[in-house]
Amino acid sequence: MRLGVLTSGGDCPGLNAVIRSVVHRAITDHADEVVGVEDGFLGLIENRTRTLTLDDVHGILTRGGTILGSARVARDRMREAVSRAKELADEVGIDALVAIGGEGTLTAARMFSDAGLPVVAVPKTIDNDIDATDVTFGHDTAVHVATEAIDRLKTTAESHQRVMVVELMGRHTGWIALNAGMAGGAHGILIPERPFDIETVCCMIEERFARGKKFAIVAVAEGARPAPGTMKFEHGGTDLYGHQTFGGIGNRLSAEIERWIGKESRPVILGHTQRGGSPTAQDRVLATRFGWHAVEAAHEGAFGHMTALRSGRIVPVPIADAVARLKTVPESRWIEAEAVL
């Protein structure tokens, strides 16, 4: 089999571990030829590929980013490409494709698969918002980076008797803010699933200071928003490709807290540091398992499916199930008991 592999959408720690695993499994166990497609679906459209050998993936298990590159494709161009799916596969010379990516990539993978290009998808995102899999690789690394940042901010916050507002990634869901906030002992956690009331946030901080505490840490997901009518805030705009952009809540919230409680507050926007660098051991293992199973799925003809972790096992699930809804933080008394405001 000539098996294509591409990485698409935002990068994520563990992408290289998947590529390496695909190459190893395909070449060593199936005598496949592996074709690396550069810059995601853009490379497929523009026929930019290179053969991947075992040597090409030597030493990449621990490296962040993706050796294949990643890019976004405008919606119109993608639709046009889907209509030529089979033609593109012939031009590039592949029998099947392993597409590694997040929500947008999964949607594209499903469209290509329906249009006749056999695709197996591998889910990735630091946000952990893909339904149908218990977790995605990249999330654990992002939570580690965010937790370390919170740990570090505590000592400087305490020295200056300040509030620190840490804005973490998570456009639609608050998994990173929740997990890192809990791990780092943040005093308030704000997530998109639960619009927050600025008064509640400020009261919590004021009560803390009144109890003699010298600082407070608020972890806020970039997609968190104030409850209607409680604080003026509008999220970002749109990027080059017409996708909504996020960010700005950390700055806005910090300024608002300072105004309300009359104590210094500083925003820290962690941004893309959460996506960079070497994956954690847990992410390397999950990424490696996903790659291995993606090759098996291709050989079993499970196209239109995605590798998913379910109760410790890797299973193929229809991509349609994975893109049907986002995996959001559920309502739970246990989460209530944490610092989610």
Residues acting as catalytic residues: 127
Q: Which of 259, 261, 240 is nearest to 251 (CA)?
A: 259
Nearer to ligand F6P, 57 or 322 (CB): 322
Whether 184 has a binding-site annotation, put simply, is no
Considering the complex, what minimum distance in angstroms separates the CB of residue 10 from ligand F6P? 4
103 annotated as a binding-site residue: yes
Question: Does the protein bind ligand F6P through residue 275 (CB under 6 A)?
Answer: yes
**x-or-dash string of contact with ligand F6P, 171-200, rule CB under 6 A:** x-----------------------------
| Inter-residue contact 17 to 291 (CB < 8 Å) | yes
> Scanning residues 120 to 139, which ones bind ligand F6P (CB under 6 A)?
125-127
- The answer to the question of residue 246 lying near ligand F6P (CB under 6 A) is yes
- Write out the binding residues for ligand F6P, residues 43-102 only, by CB under 6 A: 102
Residues 6+ away with beta carbon under 8 Å from 66: 7, 11, 15, 16, 19
> Is residue 198 a known part of a binding site?
no
Build a one-symbol-per-residue string for 207-236: x at contacts with ligand F6P by CB under 6 A, - elsewhere: ---------------x--------------
User: Does 48 count as an annotated binding residue?
Assistant: no
Largest CA distance in the chain: 69
The reply, when asked if residue 282 is annotated as ligand binding, is: no
C-alpha angle 6-122-39 in degrees, rounded to nearest 5 = 20
What share of residues in the chain are helix, strand, coil (percent, to 5)?
Answer: 40, 20, 40
DSSP assignment of 83-144 equals TTHHHHHHHHT-SEEEEEESHHHHHHHHHHHHTT--EEEEEB-TT--BTTSS--BTHHHHHH
Is the Cβ of residue 113 or residue 173 nearer to ligand F6P in the bound state? 173
Tokens at residue 331, please?
């309502």
Task: Compute the chain's Rg from CA coordinates.
Answer: 22
In the bound state, the residue with its beta carbon closest to ligand F6P is: 169
Which of 118, 170, 188, 250 touches ligand F6P by CB under 6 A? Answer: 170
216 dihedral zone (left: phi>0; alpha: psi -120 to 50; beta): beta
Which residues in this chain contact ligand F6P in the complex, by CB under 6 A? 10, 102, 125-127, 169-171, 222, 246, 275
Q: Which residues are annotated as a binding site for substrate?
A: 125-127, 162, 169-171, 222, 266, 272-275
Q: Which residues are annotated as a binding site for ATP?
A: 10, 72-73, 102-105
